[in-house]
Chains A and B, each alone.
Chain A
Amino acid sequence: MPILLLIIVLGVLAIAGFILGRRRALASVEGNTRRLHSLPNYYAWHGAIMAFLPAMAVLTLWLIAQPLIIERQLSDFFPAEQFENDSQRILLMADVRRVAEGLDVAVAAGALSNDDAANISADGTIRDRLATVGVALGADVTAQVLEASQAYRKLAATGAFWRSIVALIIAVAGLFYALRITNGDFRARNRVEAVILGVLVLASTIAILTTVGIVLSMLSETIRFASMYPFKDFLFGLTWQPSFQGNSELGLLPLLWGTLYISLVAMIVAVPTGLFTAIYLAEYASPRVRSIVKPLIEVIAGIPTVVFGLFALVTVGPFLRDWFAVPTGLGSSGSSVMTAGLVIGVLNIPFISSLADDIINAVPQSLRDGSYGLGATKSETVRQVILPAALPGIVGAILLAASRAIGETMIVTMGAGAAAKLDLNPFEAMTTITVKIVSQLTGDTEFNSPETLVAFALGMTLFVITLGLNIFALWVVRKYREQYE
C-alpha cells in the first residue's frame, strides 16, 4: 500500500474514532451531557487521536529505520572495502536505489512484466528499456548492482507490506482501546490536554534538535579540516589564497576582518536610524502618521537582498566612488566596505525599528504618566524612563540585526567584492566569511580537500561569533536591566 493511501486510511480511521468516540460517550450517559466528565467533543478528539497518533508515530519510525536496515542487508553484495568508504557507499546505494525504483516504475507503466523485471540481465538493454519509461540511469549497471537492486526491491516490498499491516493494526487497536475506556467518568479532557502539551513540547524540541544537528555536522567536518590543514594557520593566518592545486593559504583573519568591518559600518547606520525611527513612531507620531509610516518602512524588509545587492552595485557603489573615494584619494573601487555596509545598514533599519517600536509600546503607560506628572519632557521621559525599561528588548533587536549583518551574503558579494584583504580603508574592496563559504563550495568540488572543507570551519567560526554576541548581549541585559512590574 503506498504511503499516501495508508495515511488517508489512517485519517479515515481517525474520523471514525471522532464520530464513534462522541457517540459512545453520549450513549454511556443516555444523552445527558451534564453527566459527562468532559464536553462531548473531547471524547471525539480522544477517539481520533488514539486512532491516528500511535499508528502515525510507528509509521514515521518505520520510514526512518527501513532504509538503514535494508542498506545493512545489502552489504553482502559488495566487497567489504567498497562499503567501508563513506562516499563510495553512498554512491553505490544511490545506484541500487535508482535501478530498483526504475524497475518498479517500468512495471507500473506496463513496459515490463513482473517476471521480466525479476529476471532482467545486466547487459546494455536495461538502460534502454528503463529509458523508454523515462528513467535515466547514469553509469552502466554492473551485475553486482543489478543483483543488489533486485534484493532491494524484494526487501522494500516486504517492508512496505508489513509497514501497512502494522500501522493499520495499531490504528484499529488504538481506536478500540479509546472506545473501550470511553464512558461518562473517563477524563477525556485531561487526556487531550496532555496530547496538546506533547505536541507543543515536540515543536519546541525540533528547533533545538536542528541546531544541535547543524552544530554537530559542522563540527565533524571542521575536525576533518583540522586534520588536513594546520588549524593554527587557519585561525591566525593573514592571507587567504585558496588554490585547488594545493599549497593554499587559508588564513581566517582577512575574512573575519572584512565581516566585522562591514557589520560595524552596517550597525553604525542601522542602530541609531532604526532606534530613532522607533522612538518617533512610538512616542511622537500621531496614530495617522504611524499607520502610514510603519508599513512603509516595513516594505524595506520585504525586498529580497539580491535587489539590495543590485542597488549597491549600480547606484551606491559608483556614487561613493565618484563623490567620496576618488576626490579624497582613498580608492578607485566601486565595491567597498562602505558600499556594502551602508546598504546592509539600510536593510536592517526596519528590522530594528519595527522590533524596538513594539518593545517601546510594551512599556506601561503608567511609567510615562509618572514621568510626565513630574514635569519631564518627552525626550527626558524617553531617555531616562522608557529606554532603560525597554533596554533588554532593544539589545535583543540590535543583536538580531547584527547577526543578520554578519550573515549577509548577497549584498556583500555585489557591493564589497571578493578580494580578501586586511585594510583599514573603508573605500577598499573586501570580503566576508559568508561570501567565501559560497565561493569555496560552488562548482564541481569534492568534500575531501582542505579548500572545500574550510567552508565548514568558516561556518563554525560564524556560529561561534553569533553565539558569542548572544552571550555578550545576555550579560549586558542582565547587568543593566531595569525591570518594570
Chain B
Amino acid sequence: MYDAPTPETRLTQNTLKITARGVQVYYGDKQALKDVNVDILDNTVTAFIGPSGCGKSTFLRCLNRMNDTVASARVEGEIMLDGENIYDKRVDPVQLRAKVGMVFQKPNPFPKSIYDNVSYGPKIHGLTRSKAELDQVVEDSLRKAALWNEVKDRLNEAGTGLSGGQQQRLCIARAIATSPEVLLMDEPCSALDPIATAQVEELIDELRASFSVVIVTHSMQQAARVSQKTAFFHLGSLVEYGDTSHIFTNPSDPRTESYITGRIG
C-alpha cells in the first residue's frame, strides 16, 4: 500500500540539498544581497520571485559560483551543498558547476551541432567511455528535455538553427547531460512564447524526479504552477520563504502580499 508514495509524502521525505547562511554579495562597493538564509530541498522545485534588481539572479549565480566570472563580485557567508561549503578554498568551482548545472535566460546554444551541444558536458568531464555510451547519454538527455522527437533526424545540424523554444530545451538537455544534482534556471522562459513556455514548465515538473530545481522567474503564475517552495526577494533581502501554496494564499509579510497582488514590483 505504501509502495507508491504520493507527491505530498515524497515532499516531506525530501532531504536538505543546499543550505545558505548569511550570504552577502557585493558588486564593487554596492551591496546586492543582504544576509540571505535559505534551505533548498532535494527533488523539489524552488522558485525565486521578486521585482527586477532584487538580487534573485545574483543569489542563483552564487549557488554554482558563476559570480566568480564577474571580476568585481565578492561573496560572503556560507553556502553548503550536501554539507560541504562550496566557497571553501579546496572546492574547485569547475567541479562544482558540473554538479550544479545552469540554464540561462536567453537560449545560448553553442554554434555547434545539436549532438555536439549535448555531448559537450559529458565529453569535457569524461563521463562516458565509448561513443555508444555517449550516444545514449545524448539521446536520454534530449528525451528528458522533450526534444528528441523533434531533432532525432538532424542531430548534426546547427543548434543555432532551432526555434527559440527548441533552443532553450536544447540548453536544458545540455545541462542535464552532465547529470547534475541541482539545476539552476535563470528566467528560462522569458524569451519564449506561451506554447514553448508550457513545454518547458512541463519539463521542469518532470525534472523534479531526478534533480533539485531552482528557478528564477518574473511570472508569479509560473512560480505558482511549477514550484513547491517559493522565496520572495526584495531590495537585496530575502523577505519570505515557504511552501508555494502558503506564500501565494497566505503570505505573512505585507511586502510579499503587495508584490503578489501587484501593488509593488
Q: Which residues of A contact B (CB under 8 A)?
A: 286-287, 364, 366-377, 380, 384-385, 388-389, 482-485
Contact = CB atoms under 8 A, between A and B. Distances in A.
Given A368-B69, A369-B66, A369-B69, A374 B108 contact: no
Contact of B111 (A372, A374, A483): A483
A485 B97 CA distance: 25
A366 B104 contact: yes
A482 B125 contact: no
Given A369-B66, A374-B101, A375-B95, A484 B124 contact: no
Contacts of B175: 373-374
B112 interface: yes
15 contacts: A367-B110, A370-B104, A373-B66, A374-B121, A374-B175, A375-B97, A375-B99, A375-B125, A376-B121, A385-B110, A388-B111, A389-B110, A483-B160, A484-B160, A485-B160
B227 to A, nearest CB: 21
Given A366-B106, A373-B64, A374-B120, A287 B160 contact: no
Contact of B124 (A286, A370, A374, A482): A374
Given A384-B110, A482-B110, 8 more contacts: A369-B66, A369-B102, A373-B102, A373-B103, A374-B120, A375-B99, A376-B94, A483-B158
A110 B97 CA distance: 90
B102 to A, nearest CB: 4
Contacts of B96: 375
Contacts of B109: 370
A371 to B, nearest CB: 7
Contacts, number: 79
Contact of A374 (B69, B71, B97, B158): B97
Nearest to B171: A370
Contact of B104 (A286, A369, A376, A389): A369
B112 A482 contact: yes
B160 A372 contact: no
Interface of B: 64, 66, 69, 71, 94-99, 101-104, 106, 108-112, 120-121, 124-125, 158, 160, 171, 174-175, 178
Contacts of B102: 369, 373-374
Nearest to A383: B124
Given A286-B71, A372-B97, A374-B174, A380 B106 contact: no
Given A286-B71, A369-B69, A375 B121 contact: yes
Contacts of A373: 64, 66, 97, 101-104, 175
B213 to A, nearest CB: 15
Contacts of A389: 110-111
B51 to A, nearest CB: 23
Contacts of A367: 108, 110-111
Contacts of A374: 97-98, 101-102, 120-121, 124, 174-175, 178
Q: Which of B94, B97, B108, B125 has the most CB of A within 10 A?
A: B108
The 10 A-B residue pairs whose C-beta atoms are closest, nearest first, are A375-B98, A482-B111, A373-B102, A375-B97, A366-B108, A370-B108, A374-B121, A484-B111, A389-B111, A376-B124
Contact of A372 (B69, B71, B112, B158): B69
A43 B121 CA distance: 62
B95 to A, nearest CB: 7
Nearest to A286: B71
B178 A375 contact: yes
Contacts of A485: 160
A153 B106 CA distance: 74
A364 B97 contact: no
Nearest to B106: A366
A115 B35 CA distance: 101
Q: Which of A370, A380, A484 has the most CB of B within 10 A?
A: A370
A367 B109 CA distance: 7
A167 to B, nearest CB: 56
B259 to A, nearest CB: 28
B46 to A, nearest CB: 18
Nearest to B122: A374
Contacts of A375: 94-99, 121, 124-125, 178
B111 A369 contact: no
Nearest to A364: B108
Contacts of A369: 66, 69, 102, 104, 108
A286 B69 CA distance: 11
Contacts of A384: 110, 120, 124
A368 B99 CA distance: 18
B65 to A, nearest CB: 9
B18 to A, nearest CB: 16
Contacts of B103: 373
Nearest to A376: B124
Nearest to A363: B111
A377 B125 CA distance: 10
Contacts of A372: 66, 69, 97
Contacts of B108: 364, 366-367, 369-370
A391 to B, nearest CB: 9
Nearest to B107: A366
Contacts of A287: 71
A23 B104 CA distance: 57
